[in-house]
Amino acid sequence: MSEERVIDVRGLTKRFGDKTVVDHFDIAVPKGAIYGFLGPNGSGKTTTIRMLCGLLLPDEGEGQCLGFDVRRDAGKIKAEVGYMTQKFSLYEDLTIRENLDFVARMYGVKNRKSRVDGALADLGLADRAGQLAGTLSGGWKQRLALAACLIHDPKLLLLDEPTAGVDPKARRDFWDEIRRLSKAGVTVLVSTHYMDEAIQCDFITYIAYGKKLIDGRATEIPTMVGLTTWRAEGPELVALEEQLKGQPGVDQVARFGSALHVSGTDAVALAATVAKFQKTKRQRWSEVPAGLEEAFIYLMAGARDNFSRDAA
């Protein structure tokens, strides 16, 4: 991966009224990377993405996106970015072909007819091109939306929770496509709630309250969080879970399939607690390397629900 940075912004800040939605956010995304954007609802993911593609003007901060200034050159950035909104935002009362054709016109795509035909063929929708977009199912709408934001061959894809409400098979296909694009040199910034999607990212940043909590290579995140994890297998896990909570060194207990993962940042205290429970010999205990999932459950638990602030 080259060191060329497609996005490089510092101190990005956005306030709505007296609420700071994004607070001095820095991000540097290398070319061709898949950058995962994680965080609870209302943490400022969508606002950040909107600022990056010029839909919102940042109150503070500076930097470049695709070599253009994020404050002054929003128009130039827009021309080379494909932005997929959280909600389906194509025209439901236009047909599939009309939608693709309209978006292609907006970007001034050359050889529009053949480009749209190609996109329809790739989608496998060539024979349904005359169908109204509003009549498509959720999964198909999502594929159409992706095809629409790829129609002008963007260098950067901004995907805002692209797989929300889409079935697992469609999600898998979607991510195959994202990886293929990434290999072809397209940079992808994607926000998601799904752990299995986060694992597929090269880099991950986790934000809460509009503040960045952690940022790094996906493989390094667990080490950065600094968790030690023990795995317990066997019967009576529900009772065990209750007993473990609040014990010294235990920061979180999470169910992973048929096992219980007990994690904490204080390795010594955790080992002592585990040793105490090992004596009962009811469950099999083993120390395992902390994964991304434990890391994020830990981060999420640390960040209170952002909506609670709205209620005040």
Choose between 91 and 285: whose C-beta lies nearer to another protein: 91
Distance, in Å, from the CA atom of 177 to the CA atom of 188, rounded to the nearest integer, reads 11
Which of 91, 194, 256, 285 touches another protein (CB under 8 A)?
91
Q: Which stretch binds another protein (CB under 8 A): 21-29, 31-39, 82-90, 188-196?
A: 82-90
Residue 89 in contact with another protein, rule: CB under 8 A: yes
Choose between 107 and 298: whose C-beta lies nearer to another protein: 107
Number of H helices, E strands in the chain: 12, 14
Residue 246 in contact with another protein, rule: CB under 8 A: no
Which of 83, 175, 209, 298 touches another protein (CB under 8 A)?
83
Parallel, antiparallel, or unpaired for β 187-191 and 156-160? parallel
Written in H, E and C, the secondary structure of 101-167 is HHHHHHCCCCCHHHHHHHHHHHHCCHHHCCCEHHHCCHHHHHHHHHHHHHCCCCCEEEEECCCCCCC
Residue 55 in contact with another protein, rule: CB under 8 A: yes
Helix or strand (DSSP H, E) at 183: helix 168-183
Residue 53 in contact with another protein, rule: CB under 8 A: yes
Choose between 85 and 229: whose C-beta lies nearer to another protein: 85
SS3 195: helix
Binding mask 103-132 for another protein (x = CB under 8 A): x--xxx------------------------
Minimal CA–CA distance to 52: which of 39, 33, 37?
Answer: 37
CB of 53 to another protein, least distance (A): 6
Residue 78 in contact with another protein, rule: CB under 8 A: yes
Which of 7, 21, 65, 81 touches another protein (CB under 8 A)?
81
Residue 39 in contact with another protein, rule: CB under 8 A: no
Minimal CA–CA distance to 192: which of 174, 209, 177, 180?
Answer: 174
CB of 86 to another protein, least distance (A): 9
Phi, psi for 80 (deg, rounded to 5): -115, 10
Q: What is the DSSP letter of 2?
A: -
Distance, in Å, from the CA atom of 139 to the CA atom of 169, rounded to the nearest integer, reads 9
SS3 288: strand
Residue 21 in contact with another protein, rule: CB under 8 A: no
SS3 254: strand
Q: Which stretch binds another protein (CB under 8 A): 2-10, 100-108, 172-180, 184-192?
A: 100-108
Residue 143 in contact with another protein, rule: CB under 8 A: no
Which of 4, 11, 41, 92 touches another protein (CB under 8 A)?
92
Residue ranges binding another protein (CB under 8 A): 50, 53-57, 74-75, 78-79, 81, 83, 85, 87-92, 103, 106-108, 148
